[in-house]
Structure 1
Amino acid sequence: MIKTFSAILHLAIWLGYISGSWAVSFPTEASLTTTVPTKTDSIAILDESRNRYPAILRDSKNFMAEAVISDYHGDTLEVIYHLSRIFELLMEADQIGEMNLEDKEEFERFNRTFTNLYTTKLVTVQHVDAPGMAERIRTDITEAIEIEMGDTKFTVVDDRDGHIPLVRTKQVDQFINYFQTKGRKQFEIWLKRYMQYKDLILPILAEHEMPEEFIYLAMIESGLNPKAYSHANASGMWQFIYSTGKQYGLSRDWYRDERRDIVKATHAACRYLKDLNNLFDNWYLTLAAYNCGEGRVLRASKLHQTYDFWQLKSLPRETRNYIPYFLSAAIIAKTPGLYGFKIPKAQPFQFEEVVLEKSADLAVLARVAGIKPKVIREYNPELRQSATPSEGSYTLKLPMGKKDRFLAAWNKIPADERFAPQFVQHRVRYGESLWTISKKYSVSIHDLAAVNKIRNRNKVRVGQKLKIPLKGGRVWGNGTNGGPPGHSKRTYKVKRGDTLGQIAEDFGTRANKIRRWNNMKYGSHLIHPGQKLIIWVKEG
């Protein structure tokens, strides 16, 4: 173990994770297991938790360290799981509110390190379309190419009524060349996604009477990835930040983030773009405002006394690059064959809908539909938890052809086996804190704070009523029965083709924990069909 840990540490140093300004604190094997805090530990935690930011940052660093360890062992799915947890924590931090100066500096430093880590350092995900890859490409190309504003010679490619004018300039050609060379592999992924989602997005654009070229805006913003995330805490295919998403009807709560709902986010993007175009009456300026905000574009237009985008020299460098970047992507995607790209084959994203009146476990829904839990998540990317929302009905998307089978099987399942998460009410007593309450009910303190919209964990008051998310009908871990607190026991029967990493990803846990719970030798991935595995699943 010491030899392995030493190798990991040397790898981390070689990759540049540890520097004079920031260092990853790598956990030992013992520290990766769940322990019950002592009284002294709890006091330290309470003293540290003046607000939720330090705890979120600490957890994010731990997940990043575990991603490094998983990357060293070549477990791609486990790495992706850790990265997704970090994205969730960073989005949660964005929703809390204003940071103090110290927290802001720490988060910005972590964000820079984390972005560099998952886009350039982790070997296992270099061939995976990471959630922040679209932003990374735009940043790289912005740094590499300087757009000269002023008198511009251009060739018109498409200038039909009802469309965004597509023109080629010297600058646009530079971006086209980038996508044909260094950015080719990524653009091929984007083209495949375009083929996958165009039949869903284009009709929505038409419904709002918006130019069809706006689908390429989603392409350069997120690579048409519903779960894309940026360093500015923007999320989803259209990269809404929390405040703008909320303004245009996209909610985010404990259960879901509608910025990642393809249909709802596309409708919201159309309304936002329509408002911007009503302000500027110019599609190029509308796109520029989508990137840097209408205020900056209005100031630049006033300063230069023009609404000609190519004359607005005072716009930020990223925005000056943004329009040529958009035009190059749109021109290639409209006629990929002319630029050396093959039109990829992709299964269109089609689905059937089922209305669920009560909350249900995603694992149960997947089993009833005859698909894997990760497929449920792919079709419903807005879901943040292992269950559908507990308040009100929820429209679940299923792959085509699964609805009839699902309804027939679902109606036969007793209601108590569908797992409906419940909230119990807890009245805060004298001497209690959010931390002690979370331990009492074996729930995450982050989830408890999120459900009750608490920004400062020290500000719970005596007599305050809190909603505690609980789930019934399960065997719960208590530290003595082999399961960690806050986890429920599941038994999984291995199927042909399963891997330990895939099973871990489906249940939202880690391969090394499954090995420990089932007394399997560390490093061993040998499992066989029919084998029963005990899995403790963290609730929330």
Structure 2
Amino acid sequence: MSKSFREIIIILICAVGFLGAKAKNVSNVFPNTSVFTARNDSSITIDETQNRLPAIITDAKLLMSEVVISDFNKDTLEVAFLLSKIFELMMEADQIGGQDLEFGGMSLEDKEEFDRFNRTFTDLYTHKLLTVQNINAPIMAEKIWTDITEGIEIEMGETKFTVIEDRDGHIPLVRTKQVDQYIKYFQTKGRKQFQIWLDRYAKYKDLILPILAEHEMPEELMYLAMIESGLNPKAYSKANASGMWQFIYSTGKNYGLNRDWYKDERRDPVKATHAACRYLKDLYKEFDNWYLALAAYNCGSGRVARASKLHQTYDFWQMHSLPRETRNYLPYFLSAAIIARSPAEYGFKLPKNVIPFKYDTVMLEKSSDIAVLARVAGIKPKLLREYNPELRQSATPESKYELKIPTGAKNTFLSAWKAIPEEERFAPQFVVHRVRYGESLWTISKKYNVSIHDLAAVNKIRNRNKVRVGQKLNVPLKGGQAWANSGKRGPPGYAKQIYRVKRGDTLGQIAENFGTRASKIRRWNNMKYGSHLIHAGQKLVIWVK
């Protein structure tokens, strides 16, 4: 074992120390380390009648250990990918938690374990990961918010303020001592991120402001999305909130945002903005006060109503009993709104050469591969995903789906699309598997090399439900290769080696042993981002100096 890898093990043990009282060694922290590592099928038995949540948490822990290794190796691409996979698992767990206990919901023990992991994971990505600073990650808005709330304590009470703007139909903008603290933060430590937010404001304003106007909502609410997510449609947080407006699963569902195998509509900037308008309109009707409505958006209307009753006031600045995060929330919002309306006045550059988010739509009747659609549109798959951030898979949904493509590309797309044979346009994204005697979700997932969680999610298999002999299951296909490089030609000056995966191996460990990065091993072996499983006996091409 190399010296550097021994150092990583020490870091890992520290990172997972959150089980302190229960974890006397690494095996306690990772009770089943085979979930995301290579192994043989013969020794595996899984009881599908058991709760899926412990398996999800175990997988998340293993991925977290891979994050630490990749961060140590400064493998930013792998860190970004692994963080997104962990958040997907956390949102899956949160969705399970919303069910009744008899249908697979969280028990009290499950919730304690889930919350414990969530706290440790949040501390890891907000304070300990060096590479997160170098990537425009979906967690950056959360990181900024954590940083600023830990450093500034808002005092409530008698407040002197200067009115910056107060017009009918708008949210009053005022400067107080507290608001000035946040403005100073954005001008110094938070400058880089706020400039990114201003660029995104320029990108999305022509999309969001008309929707706010359609619902007769104040235009300042766009700054709410700015502080919630940095106007990043793929943002996510420790509360398992997702999207530009940071809806949690239950609230999103209440306002018409669906999440399934193919898509998460909380990440659709159009649908989520309409949903946010309806939600904020309900909050404003309840309090008839925009400051209290915004506070309720952060901590819930019940808490704000109780604080108002306790203090016998509708003045936000007098509500001492509100949670610290909520007391910080309104000054945070006001500081962002004040800077964003006059960036140059506060030392920020006015965004230039920002391409606005404008699009045409094409109605697809069946599921189609993203790579095929991008080629037809004459753009890169990454750009097509940016226009359709709600898509969770490498394909569009089975049913009708309105695909967004850059303005001006529609005619080219339609003519090229019609020229493709139908069997190439609509590639099936599932195979149907009929369960045989002795099979389990685990053995079926291994047979097709898919995640057991994906298999359960696609077929809506809840906790304590067994698969039955003869039952038909939809098994998701992986789609085409993600990389053009087949791995036959390596970098100049490198020699090709074939490594046979051993039981217990992970990509991060293999990369460390060969002095390379997990992201490079993926590229050399056409391993699509979205698939993390490797198996014992698998041969990997690795290029070494």
TM-score bracket relative to the smaller structure: 0.7 to 0.9
Helix, strand or coil at the partner of 2:56: helix
C-alpha distance after superposition, 1:114-137 (max 9, x if no partner):
222223322222122322222232
Q: Tell me how far 1:72 sits from its aligned partner.
A: 2.8
Residue of 232, 242, 250 corresponding to 1:235: 242
Asked whether the equivalents of residues 434 and 473 of structure 2 are also in contact (C-alpha less than 8 Å), the reply is no
Is 1:170 aligned to 2:172, yes or no?
no
Q: State the partner residue of 2:296.
A: 289
The 1:166–1:464 alpha-carbon spacing in structure 2 relative to 1, beyond 3 Å, is: farther
Compute the displacement of 1:220 (Å). Answer: 0.8
Q: Is the 8 A contact 1:423 1:467 kept in 2?
A: no
Letter in 2 for 1:36: N
Identity, in percent, stands at 66
Cα deviation for residue 194 of structure 1 reads: 1.0
Matched position secondary structure for 2:526:
strand
Q: Deviations over 1:427-470 (max 9, x none)?
A: 555544322333344432211211222221x4225367443134
Q: 1:180 to 1:9 in 2, by over 3 A?
A: same
CA distance in 1: counterparts of 2:306 and 2:517, whole angstroms: 61
* Residue aligning to 2:164: 157
Residue correspondence of structure 1 range 148-227 to structure 2 within 5 A? 148-227=155-234
- 1:37 equivalenced with 2:22 (yes/no): no
* CA distance in structure 2 between the aligned counterparts of 1:17 and 1:432, rounded to whole angstroms: 34
Structure 1 residue identity aligned to 2:442: W
> Does structure 1 conserve the Cα–Cα contact (< 8 Å) formed by 2:441 and 2:452?
yes
Instruction: Supply the distance in 1 between the matched residues of 2:3 and 2:133 (Cα, whole angstroms).
Output: 26
Aligned residue for 1:234, secondary structure, equals coil
- Distance verdict in 2 for CA 1:198–1:437, change over 3 Å: same
Task: Answer yes or no: is the 8 Å Cα contact 2:162–2:176 preserved in 1.
Answer: yes
**Distance change >3 Å, CA 99–CA 464, structure 1 → 2:** farther
Q: Which residue of 2 aligns with 1:52?
A: 52
Q: 1:487 to 1:396 in 2, by over 3 A?
A: closer
Distance 1:466 1:150, change over 3 A: farther
- Cα deviation 1:29-69 (Å, max 9, x = unaligned): 9997643321x3x22x338x711111111211222222222
Q: TM-score normalised to the size of structure 2?
A: 0.83
Local SS of the residue matching 2:484? strand
Check 1:247–1:226 CA distance in 2 against 1; reply closer, same or farther (3 A cut). Answer: same
Tell me the alpha carbon deviations over residues 260-313 of structure 1, each in whole angstroms, 9 at most, x when there is no partner.
Answer: 000000000001001111111111111111111111111122222222222222
Which digits, 9 at most, give the CA deviation of each residue in 1:316-364, with x for residues without a partner?
1211111111111100111111111111222212222211111011122
**Secondary structure of 2:39's partner?**
coil
Q: State the one-letter code of the partner of 2:261.
A: W
Measure the CA separation in 2 of the matches of 1:289 and 1:334. Answer: 24
The DSSP-based 3-state class of the residue aligned with 1:297 is: helix
* SS, match of residue 287 in structure 1: helix
Q: Which residue of 382, 389, 395 maps to 1:374?
A: 382
Counterpart check, 1:389 vs 2:389: no
Aligned to 2:335: 328
* Partner Cα separation in structure 2 for residue 24 and residue 375 of structure 1: 41
- 2: CA distance between counterparts of 1:179 and 1:464? 60
Unaligned runs of at least 5 residues, structure 1 = 472-485, 501-511
Q: Secondary structure at the match of 2:242?
A: coil
Q: For the structure 1 residues 490 and 167, does the alpha-carbon distance in structure 2 shift closer, same or farther, using more than 3 Å as the test?
A: closer
- Does 2:345 correspond to 1:338? yes
> CA, structure 1 residues 12+344, in 2 after alignment: closer, same or farther (shift >3 Å)?
farther
Provide Cα deviations, 1:369-395, integer angstroms capped at 9, x if missing partner.
2322222221111111111111x2111
**Distance (whole Å) between structure 2 residues aligned to residue 24 and residue 348 of structure 1:** 49
Shift of 1:499: 9.8
- Whichever residue aligns with residue 466 of structure 2, its letter is V
Paired letter, 1:192: D
Are 1:69 and 2:75 counterparts? no
TM-score with structure 1 length normalisation? 0.83
Alignment of 1:120 onto 2:124: no
Deviation per residue, 1:479-510 (Å, 9 max, x gap): xxxxxxx7876773579xx999xxxxxxxxxx
Q: What residue number does 1:505 align with?
A: none
Q: 1:305 aligns with which of 301, 312, 324?
A: 312
Which residue of 1 is the match for residue 484 of structure 2? Answer: 492
2:93 equivalent to 1:93? yes
CA deviation vs aligned residue, 1:214-245 (integer Å, no higher than 9, x gap) = 00000111111111111111111100011110
Unpaired stretches in structure 2, ≥5 consecutive residues: 98-104, 493-505, 532-545
- Aligned-partner SS, 1:535: coil
Call closer, same or farther: CA 1:284–1:487 in 2, change over 3 Å.
Answer: closer
Mapped to 2, the partners of 1:163 and 1:526 lie a distance apart of 48
Contact 1:119 1:126 in 2 (8 A): no
Give the Cα–Cα distance (whole angstroms) in 1 for the partners of residues 308 and 470 of structure 2.
52
**In structure 2, C-alpha distance between the alignment counterparts of 1:240 and 1:2, rounded to whole Å:** 44
Render the CA deviation track for 1:70-96: whole Å, top value 9, x for unaligned: 223332112211111111111111111
1 or 2 for the larger relative contact order (CA 8 Å, sep ≥6)? 2
Residue 404 of structure 1: how far off its partner (Å): 2.5
Whole-angstrom CA distance in 1 between matches of 2:124 and 2:456: 29
Number of aligned residues: 499
Letter in structure 1 aligned against 2:73? H
Residue 523 of structure 1 corresponds to which residue in structure 2? Answer: 516
Where 1:338 maps in the other structure, the secondary structure is helix
Distance 1:6 1:378, change over 3 A: same
CA 1:236–1:19: 2 relative to 1, 3 Å: closer
